[in-house]
Amino acid sequence: MLILGLIVFGMAVGWIAQLILGRTGRGNRNWAEALVAGLVGSFVGGLLGSLIFGDGLALRPSGIIGSIVGAVLVLLVWGAVRGRA
């Protein structure tokens, strides 16, 4: 049940990040990208939160806002890398 919850949370966060970046036009949704961005973004957001709030480099899952910010950053980097190829 926990794994299913993590997958749903990752997809939701990734989808919101795609909405923020304007990447969800008609038929332009990439659910695999949303899932990966949501899951990785959660850890990126947790790491950034740890650095900002003085906890050091403790890697941990973050809250919803940190996850969305992390997913947006992951999608921006992913798009920049994909654009160079």
Task: State how far the Cα of 3 lies from the Cα of 46, in Å rounded to an integer.
Answer: 19
pLDDT at 72 over 90: yes
Place of tokens 């992913």: 78
Centroid of chain to Cα 41: 3
pLDDT at 60 over 70: no
pLDDT at 51 over 70: yes
Q: What are phi and psi of 62, to 5 degrees?
A: -110, -175
Give this prediction's pTM. 0.80
Task: State how far the Cα of 73 lies from the Cα of 82, in Å rounded to an integer.
Answer: 14
What number of helices (H) and strands (E) belong to the chain?
3, 0
Residue spans of the domains in the chain: they are 2-84
